[in-house]
Amino acid sequence: MGLNLASKTIDKNIINCNENFFVTLALSASPNIQDNPTDIVLILDRSGSMTGVPLTEVKAAAKTFIDIIDESTDGGLNGLIGNGSNIGMVSFSTEATKDVALTTNTATLKNAIDLMVAGGNTNHADAFQKATELFNPLSQNAKVMIMFTDGETTIGTNPLIDADLAKAAGITIYCIGLTGANGVDVTALNSWASDPDATHVSIAPDPEDLVNLFEELASNISKTGATNIVIDEVLNDDFNIVDILTPSVGDASLVNNTSLKWKIAELGKKGDEGASLTFEVKYIGKKSKITNVNKSITYTDTEGNIANFGNPEITINCSKVIVVNPCPEPQEMDFGRCQEYLEYDLGDYSLSDLGRILELSVNIKNVCPNKKVAVAITLNEVNDLGQETKKAMKVLSIPAHNSTVCEDIKLKNIKFVLPEENGLLCSERKLVARILANYIDNNPVC
C-alpha cells in the first residue's frame, strides 16, 4: 500500500500573543504488494530431523509469514490474500506432497501447516519439482519459491537441476536453512537460491530464530511501504519552535528557529505502522490575525510516495485585557492535620453593591502606542413610553501601552449597581448604554 496517511494537527485553535501550543505531524505506511501481485509457494521440510521444537517453530514462522502477506496485500488481517496474490504449499521428507494449491484462503494454508508430521528422509529435488508444478506458467504474477530445510539431501536426484529449471522459468527462489541435528549444506542453498546469495539465503542457528527470518522474508517480498523518509517542516516567520519532543519513530532535529528535519529509515515493513512527531511552538508576532502555522512542508522517500499533511489555521488574539472591577480577594483557611473542626472569623464586610448588578465589557479598537484613553459609559433606563431616565455613569482611564503597533484593548467587569425602586425586585427593566472614548494626551506640548 505504501504511504497510507499524513496529517498535521494543533492542540489549540485560538491563542493569545506570546502563547505556546503544540503541533503534531503523523503518518502511516503499510507493505506494498498490491501493485505487484505475486504467487508464492512455501516448501517446508518435515523430515525426521525436524521432530520436536524445530517443527513447532517452523509452523509458527510459516503462519507469521502468511499473516504478513495477508495484511500487506489488502491492508487488513482478514484471512484473505488480496489484489491478485496467492500462496501455495508443498511439504517434503522422503517424498514431496502438494498440500495446498495456490489460494487466497489463509485458513486453508494454516490448517495444512498444522497437519505436518515429521518423519522420513530429505528429498529436495522432489520438493522443487512439486512446487514448480503449482505455478501457472501463463500467469503474469511474479513467482516466488521459499525453500525451508534443516538438513542435507539424503534421497532423490540432484536438487540443483530442478532448482535451475525453476529459475529458468522465471521463478525467484529463497532458501532458509536451520542448522539442525544433521546440519545444513550452505553451499547447496546458495546454488539453489536466486542471486545474490546475501539477499536470498538465510541461516538460522536455532529454531527460535525462524520467526524473525520468515518475517524478514515476507517484508522483502511485499516491499516496505516507505524507506529513507525525510520531512522538512518550515514555520511562518511569526512562529518559533520552542522544543521538539522525541518522535515515536526516527530522529528529529532543529535546523533553525522556524524549521526542523525529521528522518525515518523505514515505515510499514511488517504491517500497518504509524509514526508521530510533536513539537512546541510560540507565536512571536504582535498582531491579532488568523493565519496558517507553517510556510511549507516537504516529504520525500525512496519509493516516491506523496504526502499531504495539510496546513491548519490558528486564530491569534493580541487584545489587551484590563479588569475594571476585580473579584474580591479570597481568604484562605487551613485545617491542621487530623483536625476535625475549625472556627474562622471572616471579619467585617461592607456591602459593595445594593440592588441588581449589571456587568458590561467593551473592546476599544486600534489604540495607538503611548496614548492614554478616557472612556465614559452612561446608563439610562427606558420606560414603557420610550422615555429615558439617567441612572449611572462611569469614567475610566486606560493606561498607555508600549507596543510598536496599534492594538485592541478589552475592558472587562465594568459593574453598575441598579437600586430597586418601589420594591419591585422581579420587574422587567429596559436599559440603554452609551460609550464615548477619547485620547487624553492629544494636546501638543509647548
User: CA-CA distance, 248 to 79, in Å (whole number)?
Assistant: 29
- With contact defined as beta carbons under 8 Å apart, do 405 and 369 qualify? yes
User: CA-CA distance, 98 to 50, in Å (whole number)?
Assistant: 19
Query: So what's the pLDDT on residue 128?
Result: 97
The total number of structural domains in the chain stands at: 3
Mean pLDDT of 110-132: 96
Q: Which cell numbers hold the place of 242?
A: 520552542
Instruction: With a cut of 60, say whether residue 291 has pLDDT above it.
Output: yes
In the 3-class helix/strand/coil scheme, how is 221-238 assigned residue by residue?
HHCCCEEEEEEEEEECCC
- With contact defined as beta carbons under 8 Å apart, do 240 and 257 qualify? yes
Strand-pair category, 407-418 with 356-367:
antiparallel
Query: So what's the pLDDT on residue 182?
Result: 66
CATH of the domain at 414: 2.60.40.3930
Q: Which of these, 96, 111, 183, 94, lies nearest to 147 by C-alpha position? A: 96
Same domain, yes or no, for 207 and 130?
A: yes
Considering 196, 222, 248, which residue would you say is the last residue of a domain?
222
What is the per-residue pLDDT across 337-367, written as a single tens digit (0 to 9) for each? 888 888 888 888 776 555 788 899 999 998 9
What is the per-residue pLDDT across 209-232, written as a single tens digit (0 to 9) for each? 888 888 878 877 777 788 999 999
User: CA-CA distance, 158 to 175, in Å (whole number)?
Assistant: 16
| Stronger pLDDT, 162 or 3, i.e. the higher one | 162
Same domain, yes or no, for 21 and 142?
A: no
Query: So what's the pLDDT on residue 445?
Result: 52
Q: Which of these, 272, 273, 267, 259, lies nearest to 302 by C-alpha position? A: 267
Query: So what's the pLDDT on residue 446?
Result: 44
Mean pLDDT of 146-165: 94
Most confident of the ranges 105-114, 177-186, 309-318, 434-443: 105-114
Same domain, yes or no, for 372 and 416?
A: yes
Query: So what's the pLDDT on residue 143?
Result: 93
How many Cβ atoms are within 10 Å of 282's Cβ, its own excluded? Answer: 16
Residue type, 286: K
Q: What is the DSSP string of 138-185?
A: T--SEEEEEEEESS---SSS-HHHHHHHHHHTTEEEEEEEE--TT---
Same domain, yes or no, for 62 and 176?
A: yes
| Stronger pLDDT, 349 or 185, i.e. the higher one | 185
Considering 193, 222, 251, which residue would you say is the last residue of a domain?
222
User: CA-CA distance, 195 to 215, in Å (whole number)?
Assistant: 20
User: CA-CA distance, 274 to 5, in Å (whole number)?
Assistant: 9
- With contact defined as beta carbons under 8 Å apart, do 316 and 17 qualify? yes
- With contact defined as beta carbons under 8 Å apart, do 97 and 46 qualify? no
Instruction: With a cut of 60, say whether residue 424 has pLDDT above it.
Output: no
Crossing angle of the two packed helices 53-74 and 106-114, in degrees rounded to 10:
180
Strand-pair category, 259-267 with 14-16:
unpaired
What is the per-residue pLDDT across 46-68, written as a single tens digit (0 to 9) for each? 999 899 999 999 999 999 889 88
Q: Which cell numbers hold the place of 321?
A: 485585557
Whether this prediction's pTM lies above 0.85 is answered by no
CATH of the domain at 270: 2.60.40.680
Mean pLDDT of 136-149: 92
What is the per-residue pLDDT across 374-423, written as a single tens digit (0 to 9) for each? 999 999 999 888 899 898 899 998 988 888 888 889 999 898 888 776 65
Query: So what's the pLDDT on residue 102?
Result: 96
- 3-state DSSP assignment of residue 11: coil
Query: So what's the pLDDT on residue 444?
Result: 52
Identify the domain containing residue 254 by its residue range.
Answer: 2-31+225-317
Query: So what's the pLDDT on residue 218?
Result: 80
Same domain, yes or no, for 183 and 114?
A: yes
Same domain, yes or no, for 52 and 84?
A: yes
Same domain, yes or no, for 68 and 13?
A: no
Q: Which helix (H) or strand (E) holds 220?
A: helix 210-222
Same domain, yes or no, for 274 and 323?
A: no
CATH of the domain at 173: 3.40.50.410
Same domain, yes or no, for 79 and 203?
A: yes
Crossing angle of the two packed helices 210-222 and 53-74, in degrees rounded to 10:
20
Query: So what's the pLDDT on residue 329?
Result: 78
Instruction: With a cut of 70, say whether residue 178 has pLDDT above it.
Output: yes
Same domain, yes or no, for 247 and 393?
A: no
Query: So what's the pLDDT on residue 220?
Result: 74
Most confident of the ranges 177-181, 309-313, 432-436: 432-436
Q: Assess if residue 290 is contained within a domain.
A: yes
- Model confidence at 69, pLDDT cuts 50, 70, 90, reads confident
Q: Assess if residue 359 is contained within a domain.
A: yes
Query: So what's the pLDDT on residue 423?
Result: 56
Computed over every residue of the chain, the mean pLDDT equals: 88
Q: Assess if residue 343 is contained within a domain.
A: no
Mean pLDDT of 330-337: 84
Mean pLDDT of 176-205: 86
Q: What backbone phi and psi angles, to 5 degrees, belong to 107?
A: -65, -40
What is the per-residue pLDDT across 95-108, written as a single tens digit (0 to 9) for each? 999 999 999 999 99
What is the per-residue pLDDT across 295-324, written as a single tens digit (0 to 9) for each? 999 999 988 888 888 888 999 988 776 767
Query: So what's the pLDDT on residue 260?
Result: 96
- Model confidence at 117, pLDDT cuts 50, 70, 90, reads very high
User: CA-CA distance, 347 to 331, in Å (whole number)?
Assistant: 10
Share of the chain above pLDDT 90, in %: 50
Query: So what's the pLDDT on residue 421?
Result: 67
Q: Assess if residue 344 is contained within a domain.
A: no
- Return the exposure string of 148-182: e unless at least 16 CB atoms fall within 10 Å of the residue's CB, then b: bbbbebbebeebeebbeebbeeebbbbbbbbbbeb
Q: Assess if residue 415 is contained within a domain.
A: yes
Considering 317, 339, 371, which residue would you say is the last residue of a domain?
317
Crossing angle of the two packed helices 159-168 and 124-134, in degrees rounded to 10:
20
User: CA-CA distance, 213 to 220, in Å (whole number)?
Assistant: 11
Mean pLDDT of 328-334: 82
Helix ranges (H only) for 4-141 are 53-74, 106-114, 124-134
Q: What backbone phi and psi angles, to 5 degrees, belong to 67?
A: -65, -40
Instruction: With a cut of 50, say whether residue 93 has pLDDT above it.
Output: yes
